[in-house]
């Protein structure tokens, strides 16, 4: 084995980390979660979690990864050992669960890119668009086929390795997607009747806040920033010492959050302008956006571009969910990269099948009142990621505090003025907040 593969440049790392963070979580999940959880109040609670716990856990993952230079399990073992490697193990398991349903929705975006190109989505009637989504989702061949295609693409990029696959894929198309989302948001907020949606999104109504809102906002913060399972940790393990970690964590956090907020402006005003139901759930973006495209000149072109780029954004995220699993198999089980990609890909694909069927043929099969896809999402986002995130924070805050502070500041070459605040959040604030949210749920 040669030396460990590394990112070529700091820009390459930022783009890969941002490529991980920006994905379906921003464009598909955030708008429908905000829609289901009362809009403005959800937004504020979400932002509060992102800026405190989110940023801190991201810096903690960067620190552990770069110090450990290994996959999540190996990094904890190299830095401390004891029971800590189990935290990395939890992350690897979470990766399986997340990617299984993520790939299903990624498949929807591929299918919608094709539908858009053929003009199948050209309508602004809520009923028609809702029915089209419903019909698509209930056909097993289609949803499983596109889920399969998405997993094959993800596994293929993974098999190519860090520089060949991940870095190149991330740096090309992200900027185009940014521009497109801004254009679409611009169109959505100027629709007749959009004001009600803007109001819904920006005016918090705290009387509607329940425990569920807070838990959803916390889970969404972890999910959207790719935290709590070692994805950012694994990417940082491919980093050299010179990179300024706090600065990079701040940039990725801001970029991801900006993206989510703009996606909110792209979807929610249109929801109200066209009279869709904001609480419609996972189908919301897929039903609403075609109506926006129908109001635009060359709408079909925009529609195709949008879904194609969304599929690519989803791919760069999916790759980051799979990489910890594969890195674990390579480092700890001595498997060649290609075999590791194939083995984990097949297992994740299989776990995704019930999710793929859960909005259609298997919609009556529920777990705790949720369909399979929703249940997987809930288990991963609202339970596994916050739990993993807190353990990561505790590890940095208590177990390797001195070492972590040195590493986070690159041994003094990048002093971080908020280093004590960061350690304080890792020690007390993050654990207390997450414990409070999780325990009050029981
Ligand atoms: N953050 C990505 C998104 O918003 C999804 C994602 C990538 C992820 N890597 C992750 C979520 C690791 C949780 C953990 O679409």
Q: What is the pLDDT of residues 220-257, one digit of tens each?
A: 999 999 999 999 999 999 888 889 999 999 999 999 99
Q: What does the mean pLDDT of the chain come to? A: 92
Question: Atom of ligand 1 at shortest distance to CA of 94?
Answer: 14
- DSSP string covering 191-256, please? STTTHHHHHHHHS--GGG--HHHHHHHHHHHHHHTT-SSSHHHHHHTT--TTS-HHHHHHHHHHHH
Residue 2 reports pLDDT greater than 70: no
Mutate to test the pocket of ligand 1, among 219, 226, 261 (most ligand atoms within 8 A of CB): 226
pTM for the structure as a whole = 0.94
Q: What is the pLDDT of residues 79-115, one digit of tens each?
A: 999 999 999 999 999 999 999 999 999 999 999 999 9
What pLDDT, on a 0 to 100 scale, did the predictor assign at position 110? 97
What pLDDT, on a 0 to 100 scale, did the predictor assign at position 360? 87
Interval between CA 251 and ligand 1 midpoint (Å): 16
What pLDDT, on a 0 to 100 scale, did the predictor assign at position 127? 84
Q: Identify which of 211, 209, 223, 208 has the alpha carbon closest to the alpha carbon of residue 383.
A: 223
What pLDDT, on a 0 to 100 scale, did the predictor assign at position 167? 63
What pLDDT, on a 0 to 100 scale, did the predictor assign at position 162? 59
CA-nearest residue, atom 2 of ligand 1: 21
Element (H, E) at 441: helix 430-441
Element (H, E) at 305: helix 299-333
- Ligand 1 pocket, 103 CB below 6 A? no
Q: Report helix, strand or coil for 83.
A: coil
What pLDDT, on a 0 to 100 scale, did the predictor assign at position 163? 60
Interval between CA 318 and ligand 1 midpoint (Å): 7
Stronger pLDDT, 37 or 13, i.e. the higher one: 37
Largest CA distance in the chain: 61
Task: Taking residues 307-326, report their average pLDDT.
Answer: 91
What pLDDT, on a 0 to 100 scale, did the predictor assign at position 1? 35
Element (H, E) at 268: helix 245-273
- DSSP string covering 141-198, please? HHHHHHHHHHHHHHHHHHHT-IIIIIIHHHHHHHHHHHHHHHHHHHHHHTSTTTHHHH
Q: How confident is the model at residue 50 (pLDDT cuts 50, 70, 90)?
A: very high
Q: What is the pLDDT of residues 392-442, one digit of tens each?
A: 999 999 999 999 999 999 999 999 999 999 999 999 999 999 999 888 876
- Ligand 1 pocket, 321 CB below 6 A? yes
Q: How confident is the model at residue 164 (pLDDT cuts 50, 70, 90)?
A: low
């Amino acid at each position: 084995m040669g030396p460990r593969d590394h990112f070529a440049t700091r820009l390459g790392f930022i783009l890969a980390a941002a490529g991980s963070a920006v994905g379906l979580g921003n464009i598909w999940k955030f708008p429908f979660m905000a829609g289901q959880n009362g809009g403005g109040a959800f937004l504020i609670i979400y932002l509060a979690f992102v800026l405190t716990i989110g940023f801190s856990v991201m810096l903690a993952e960067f620190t552990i990864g770069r110090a450990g230079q290994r996959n999540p399990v190996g990094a904890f073992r190299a830095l401390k050992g004891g029971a800590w490697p189990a935290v990395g193990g939890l992350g690897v398991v979470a990766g399986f669960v997340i990617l299984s349903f993520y790939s299903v929705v990624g498949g929807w975006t591929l299918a919608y890119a094709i539908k858009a190109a053929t003009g199948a989505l050209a309508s602004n009637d809520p009923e028609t668009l809702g029915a089209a989504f419903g019909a698509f989702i209930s056909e097993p061949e289609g949803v499983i086929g596109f889920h399969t295609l998405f997993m094959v693409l993800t596994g293929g990029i993974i098999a190519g390795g860090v520089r060949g696959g991940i870095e190149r894929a991330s740096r090309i198309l992200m900027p185009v997607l940014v521009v497109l989302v801004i254009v679409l948001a611009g169109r959505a907020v100027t629709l007749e009747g959009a004001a009600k949606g803007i109001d819904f999104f920006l005016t918090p109504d705290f009387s509607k806040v329940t425990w569920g809102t807070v838990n959803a906002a916390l889970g969404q913060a972890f999910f959207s920033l790719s935290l709590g399972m070692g994805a950012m940790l694994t990417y940082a393990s491919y980093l050299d010492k010179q990179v300024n970690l706090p600065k990079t964590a701040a940039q990725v956090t801001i970029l991801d959050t900006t993206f989510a907020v703009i996606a909110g402006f792209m979807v929610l005003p249109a929801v109200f302008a066209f009279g869709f139901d904001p609480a419609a759930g996972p189908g919301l973006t897929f039903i609403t956006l075609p109506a926006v495209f129908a109001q635009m000149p060359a709408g079909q072109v925009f529609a195709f571009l949008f879904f194609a780029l969304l599929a690519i954004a989803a791919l760069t995220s999916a790759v980051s969910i799979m990489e910890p699993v594969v890195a674990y198999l390579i480092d700890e089980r001595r498997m060649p990269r290609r075999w590791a990609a194939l083995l984990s890909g097949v297992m994740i694909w299989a776990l995704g099948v019930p999710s793929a069927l859960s909005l259609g043929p298997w919609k009556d099969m529920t777990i705790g009142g949720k369909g399979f896809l929703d249940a997987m999402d809930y288990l991963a986002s609202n339970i596994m990621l916050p739990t993993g995130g807190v353990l990561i924070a505790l590890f940095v805050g208590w177990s390797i505090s001195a070492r972590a502070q040195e590493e986070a500041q690159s041994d003094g070459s990048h002093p971080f003025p908020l280093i004590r605040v960061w350690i304080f959040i890792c020690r007390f604030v993050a654990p207390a907040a997450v414990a409070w949210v999780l325990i009050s749920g029981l």
